[in-house]
């Protein structure tokens, strides 16, 4: 306990010597408080993301991480980025002798820049991130193979496998032809719903 208190005391002495102690008396102290608060929140967000990523095998699911959440104008990361710019920008400006008005403008400007950068980066990242949801209409026109023989004349009972770019899809299938399509036959999807595919045989000479 004494060692911990000693470390805290040394840290406080360092911050005091570097004029980095926040307060609510001066404008500089308020900027400093905002800067440290935003830094603390940014570190917490980073650690939560890292641990969530580790626990989920590389697929982090952090609160607010969604196309409508953490990429929006009022997402947590964007707000923290704005506060980082406001706090440190204003603090550094005051340390360099600028007035409160100029320092506030500098902080707001830097905060706005960080805000825009973070929102743009998150939107770009999530635009590259697949949600894994299959859109069945995308199967139309794709080729596959018969998995279970498909009876003729639209009768149920058949199954096909279609290689979608994101996954191998196995689904019930029907066909309008007059002869059964045996297993391993090559087919093309002509119509698709979430529960059934309509297929037709492909010409082997064109495969």
Rounded distance between C-alpha atoms, residue 203 and residue 207, angstroms: 7
Q: Which run of H or of E encompasses 198?
A: strand 197-201
Structure tokens at 44: 């917490």
Confidence of residue 137 (pLDDT cuts 50, 70, 90): confident
pLDDT tens-digit readout, 11-69: 666 666 666 777 777 888 898 899 899 999 888 888 887 765 544 444 444 444 444 44
- Better-scored residue on pLDDT, 138 or 117: 117
At the top level of CATH, which class does the domain 136-202 belong to? mainly beta
Total-model pTM:
0.51
The DSSP call for residue 131 is: -
92-100 long-range contacts (CB < 8 A, ≥24 apart) are 94/27, 94/28, 94/31, 95/19, 95/28, 100/27
- 86-111 average pLDDT score: 92
DSSP 97-148: T--HHHHHHHHHHHHHHHHHHHHHHHHHHHHS-------GGGGTT-EEEEEE
pLDDT for 63:
41
Work out the pLDDT band at 77, boundaries 50, 70, 90: confident
- DSSP lists the bridge partners of residue 144 as 162, 187
Say if CB 62 and CB 49 are below 8 A apart: yes
- In 3D space, the residue among 115, 106, 33, 103 whose CA is nearest the CA of residue 76 turns out to be 115
* CA-wise closest residue to 34 among 115, 72, 89, 105: 89
Look over the chain and give the mean of its residue pLDDT values, rounded to a whole number.
79
- Determine the average pLDDT of the residues in 146-153: 91
57 phi and psi angles, rounded to 5 deg: 65, 35
What is the pLDDT at residue 66?
43
Q: How confident is the model at residue 133 (pLDDT cuts 50, 70, 90)?
A: low
């Amino acid at each position: 306990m004494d060692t911990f208190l000693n470390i805290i005391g040394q840290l406080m002495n360092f911050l005091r010597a570097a004029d980095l102690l926040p307060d609510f008396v001066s404008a500089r102290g308020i900027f400093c408080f905002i800067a440290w608060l935003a830094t603390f929140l940014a570190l917490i967000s980073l650690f939560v993301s890292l641990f969530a990523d580790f626990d989920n095998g590389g697929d982090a699911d952090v609160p607010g991480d969604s196309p409508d959440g953490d990429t929006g104008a009022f997402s947590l990361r964007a707000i923290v980025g704005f506060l980082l710019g406001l706090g440190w920008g204003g603090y550094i400006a005051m340390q360099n002798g600028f007035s409160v008005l100029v320092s506030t403008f500098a902080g707001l400007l830097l905060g706005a820049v960080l805000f825009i950068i973070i929102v743009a980066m998150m939107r770009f990242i999530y635009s590259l991130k697949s949600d894994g949801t299959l859109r069945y209409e995308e199967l139309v026109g794709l080729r596959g193979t018969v998995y279970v023989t498909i009876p003729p004349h639209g009768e149920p009972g058949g199954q096909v496998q279609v290689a979608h770019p994101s996954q191998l899809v196995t689904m019930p299938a029907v066909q309008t032809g007059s002869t059964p399509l045996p297993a391993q036959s090559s087919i093309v999807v002509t119509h698709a719903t979430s529960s059934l595919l309509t297929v037709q045989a492909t010409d082997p000479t064109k495969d």
